[in-house]
């Protein structure tokens, strides 16, 4: 699945993410679809949650689409004192280098449940 490739790209990057092993997998707290229950309310590390939003087609030729684009929502819940501007700049650079384009970001807010600073960024690729 394309979403797993995106997750693995972020997990294997040089972004400042904490080590978190679940089973025998080094997750670096980057997850698809949901955060495991035992980690959901922890605030001692930055968590990245990736969700698929849908697909669209691009680059038509002969009345047929040549490229299928996938849309993703990336939610980031920051550990306290994170330089979020630096983190987001590095994330965007990483994703652009892999062919993903940022389409929206609505700013930052405090998560009601954890009190963590968080943001939601939308990408297509």
The pLDDT score that the predictor gives to residue 55 is 85
Q: How confident is the model at residue 64 (pLDDT cuts 50, 70, 90)?
A: confident
What residues are paired with 60 via a beta bridge? 65
Q: How long, in residues, is the chain?
A: 125
Flag whether pLDDT at 23 surpasses 90: no
Residue 115 is predicted with a pLDDT of: 94
Helices 84-97, 2-11: crossing angle, 10 deg rounding: 130
pLDDT at residue 59 tops 80? no
Q: For position 54, what pLDDT does the model report?
A: 86
Q: pLDDT value at position 52?
A: 95
Instruction: Kindly list the structural domains of the chain, giving each domain's residue range(s) and its CATH number in brackets, ordered by start.
Output: 2-124 (3.30.2000)
> Of the ranges 20-24, 61-65, 86-90, which one carries the lowest mean pLDDT score?
61-65
Q: Which residue has the tokens 């929502």?
A: 73
Question: Which H or E run includes 63?
Answer: none
């Amino acid at each position: 699945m394309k979403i797993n490739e995106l997750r693995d790209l972020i997990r294997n990057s040089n972004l400042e993410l904490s080590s978190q092993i679940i089973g025998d997998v080094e997750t670096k707290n980057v997850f698809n679809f949901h955060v495991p229950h035992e980690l959901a309310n922890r605030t001692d590390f930055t968590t990245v949650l990736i969700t698929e939003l849908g697909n669209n087609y691009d680059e038509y030729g002969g009345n047929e689409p040549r490229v299928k684009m996938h849309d993703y929502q990336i939610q980031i819940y920051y550990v306290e004192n994170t330089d979020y501007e630096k983190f987001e700049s590095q994330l965007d650079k990483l994703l652009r280098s892999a062919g993903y384009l940022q389409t929206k970001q609505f700013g930052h807010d405090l998560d009601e449940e954890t009190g963590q600073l968080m943001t939601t960024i939308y990408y297509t690729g």
